[in-house]
Amino acid sequence: MESMTPAKPTLWKQSSMAPERDHKAPDDLEGDNEDGGVSDIDPGFKLMYLANEGDVDSIKELLDFGTDVNFRDIDYRTALHVSACQGYGDVAKLLLENGADVDPKDRWGSTMAPMHVRNVREVPEYEIDPRELDFTNSIEITKGTYRIASWGGTQVAVKIFWEGTADEDKVRAFRDELSLLQKIRHPNVVQFLGAVTQSSPMMIVTEYLPKGDLHEYLKRKGALKPATALRFAMDIARGMNYLHEHKPEAIIHRDLEPSNILRDDSGNLKVADFGVSKLLKVANRVREDRPLTCQDTACRYVAPEVFRNEEYDTKVDVFSFALILQEVWNYT
């Protein structure tokens, strides 16, 4: 049987945002010396090569020799970029312990974001280049959770994650909310537009509704006509019914309150902010790994069983909906 030559590792693909292109391996890495090694190449490039190979011991030896751990190649990649793309956690840990920049950006803006992909083909279709988001004169909206930005000349709402030190809960919250928003499309639910997942800070981008939320509207408007109150009730009910009837898994909002219900240009209401929402598997109930606290959401509108860490289902949203209807009707 004809022997097969092992494929040579490639450094050129090591960015999640880099375009696909063909490169021949550089002469320095061809192994022109007798043993086919890389002992004669520049220490910085050697560090990149060893990171690509996952050779922890050789990397440690190279760093002990004084090689710059933050050496960058022509595309501004570092060894940390390479190790992350290859999935070598032990190499990344060693580099970080030796002073590697925790959030280096390469030519394409790729960083060490927690949803980082290994190949440009894996970048999700909804990915937005953060450079396309203009935060000039940006202001906070929706309880400070979102900021207004301009994207292609259109105002959008941007929820920003990953400011400062990240933790597992923040990453999980981002992934969960993003997963939910991709599944949702209804006239009475705020529309998901895209996300930034391949650089830090990560962001979720949704449509911007300039007329604000129901809570502020009720305070400002005062008395409502019964017909308006009824229309508001129907808008919220349609949005929540869509979420609860979603297949194959119902979506429990868990944070339904007037400040999370927004008004569009026509005065119609849309359910928003799915930061603490949950998928409910068919014929099952939900119980939290970590109970909600009043720091996670407003206490007034949340069903007691959620805070008591008991099993619950879509009825917890019905509880919140009933309180909102009562509040709206009080303004008639």
Cis peptide before 43, with omega less than 30 degrees from 0?
A: no
| CATH class in words for 27-122 | mainly alpha
pLDDT digits (tens, 9 = 90+) for 123-170: 678 888 888 999 888 777 765 578 899 998 899 999 887 554 455 667
* Residue 189 three-state SS: strand
Q: Which two tokens stand for residue 325?
A: 């209807």
The residues facing 155 across adjacent strands are 150
The span from the CA of 196 to the CA of 204, in Å, is 7
Task: Please name the fold of domain 214-329.
Answer: Transferase(Phosphotransferase); domain 1 (1.10.510)
The span from the CA of 182 to the CA of 160, in Å, is 17
CA atoms within 13 A on the CB side of 89: 1
Q: What type of residue is 143?
A: K
pLDDT digits (tens, 9 = 90+) for 237-279: 999 999 999 888 888 888 889 988 999 989 999 998 876 666 5
Domain with CATH 3.30.200.20 in the chain: 130-207
pLDDT digits (tens, 9 = 90+) for 61-104: 999 989 999 898 877 778 887 776 666 768 878 888 888 876 66
**Residue 242 pLDDT:** 93
Domain with CATH 1.25.40.20 in the chain: 27-122
The residues assigned a catalytic role are 255
Give percent above pLDDT 90 in the chain.
Answer: 25
| CATH class in words for 130-207 | alpha beta
pTM: 0.61
pLDDT level of residue 21 (50, 70, 90 thresholds): very low
The residues facing 196 across adjacent strands are 203
Residue 212: is its pLDDT beyond 80? yes
